[in-house]
């Protein structure tokens, strides 16, 4: 029996080779196409890297010359602490002794108040941004949007929200409503809505469609499908992303104060502009401690909500 003869005497159609040969040729073509694409992407990357190095003047000798200047700056803000009066308090006249920790942190409670304001700004902005992101994440998901035009508008709106830098939004709101934490809250909330909305929408696109089909079969509306079929699946990821965004917003709240949008950043800008001495380092240390503590607390909350056993 020849290779072209099937059992029973029937003839196999001429296909130009066996199925294995056809598969191997197709696989070789895919590998060659992938190889060409990889080489092209690598060349584009190398050209972009070379251009970025040229434009930014990113040269080793320039870095070597600039690094010592960092230590020169920090040398100007290191406090002149003296061991014999290090823990001395205020005298009878209410003044702190130069060289003591009390003198270095003379405005300690002002810093604490502004740090608390910064944390409250981050909490409020995160809650507002998460609420908007949650509402828009469903129409911004390609597989869940009730109409193509709704999907397009939702996506473009989220892109605009996260595309405008927070500090630029803060400047706009400071001009519109004046100096203070409200301008910072609105700026961070808008940027958070755009960033979280994209993440939430991508999580929604990976949700299982079986619960949606079940609710559709019993006549559920689009809102009921989003609330009872999609949300229970994606809520843990939403919570994790929102906590991550809160950590980012704490740092952002410390930065946008430079343009008058409230928080500890406003005080940091003041001491840098008018003093440039040991008070700059005093504020920086508190900011770093604040960010570290917030990160540790949010990590524990996330593990407690999702379940530590899921990370083992």
Domain shared by 280 and 303, yes or no: yes
Distance, CA of 254 to CA of 38 (rounded, Å): 42
**Within a domain: 12:** no
Domain shared by 169 and 32, yes or no: no
Domain shared by 44 and 90, yes or no: no
pLDDT value at residue 307 = 63
**Within a domain: 112:** yes
List, in order, residues 6 or more apart from 27 with CB less than 8 Å away. none
Tokens of 15: 């296909």
**Within a domain: 11:** no
Contact 239, 272 (CB under 8 A): no
Domain shared by 49 and 133, yes or no: no
pLDDT value at residue 308 = 56
Domain shared by 98 and 151, yes or no: no
Domain shared by 122 and 102, yes or no: no
CATH of the domain at 264: 1.10.3720.10
Contact 174, 260 (CB under 8 A): yes
- How confident is the chain (312 residues) per 10-residue block, as mean pLDDT? 47 58 83 89 93 83 79 77 77 75 82 91 94 95 91 94 91 89 93 95 91 89 91 91 91 85 83 75 88 86 69 52
Owning domain of residue 137: 107-311
Residue 140's nearest CA partner among 248, 226, 242, 209 is: 226
pLDDT value at residue 8 = 47
Contact 5, 12 (CB under 8 A): yes
Contact 281, 79 (CB under 8 A): yes
**Within a domain: 4:** no
Looking at the structure of the chain, the number of domains it has is 3
């Amino acid at each position: 029996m020849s290779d072209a003869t099937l059992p029973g005497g029937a003839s196999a159609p001429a296909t130009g080779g066996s199925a294995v040969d056809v598969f191997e040729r197709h696989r070789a073509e895919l590998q060659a196409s992938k190889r060409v694409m990889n080489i092209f992407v690598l060349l584009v990357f190398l050209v972009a890297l070379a251009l970025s190095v040229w434009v930014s003047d990113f040269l080793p000798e320039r870095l070597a010359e600039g690094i010592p200047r960092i230590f020169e700056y920090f040398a100007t803000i290191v406090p002149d602490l003296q061991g014999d009066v290090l823990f001395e308090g205020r005298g009878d006249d209410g003044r702190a002794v130069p060289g003591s920790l009390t003198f270095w942190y003379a405005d300690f409670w002002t810093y604490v108040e502004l740090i608390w304001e910064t944390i409250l700004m981050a909490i409020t902005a995160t809650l507002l941004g998460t609420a908007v992101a949650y509402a828009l994440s469903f129409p911004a998901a390609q597989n869940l949007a009730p109409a193509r035009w709704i999907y397009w508008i939702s996506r473009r709106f989220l892109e605009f929200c996260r595309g405008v830098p927070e500090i630029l939004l803060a400047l706009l709101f400071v001009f519109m409503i004046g100096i203070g934490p409200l301008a910072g809250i609105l700026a961070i909330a808008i940027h958070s809505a755009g960033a979280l909305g994209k993440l939430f929408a991508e999580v929604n696109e990976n949700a299982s469609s079986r619960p949606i089909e079940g609710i559709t079969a019993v006549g559920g509306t689009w809102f009921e499908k989003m609330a009872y079929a999609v949300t229970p699946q994606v809520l843990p990821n939403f919570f994790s992303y929102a906590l991550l965004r809160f950590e980012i917003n704490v740092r952002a709240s410390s930065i946008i104060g430079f343009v008058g949008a409230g928080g500890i950043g406003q005080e940091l800008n003041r001491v840098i502009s008018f003093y440039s001495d040991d008070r700059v380092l005093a504020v920086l240390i508190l900011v770093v401690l604040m960010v570290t503590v917030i990160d540790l607390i949010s990590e524990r909350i996330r593990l407690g909500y999702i379940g530590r056993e899921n990370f083992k």
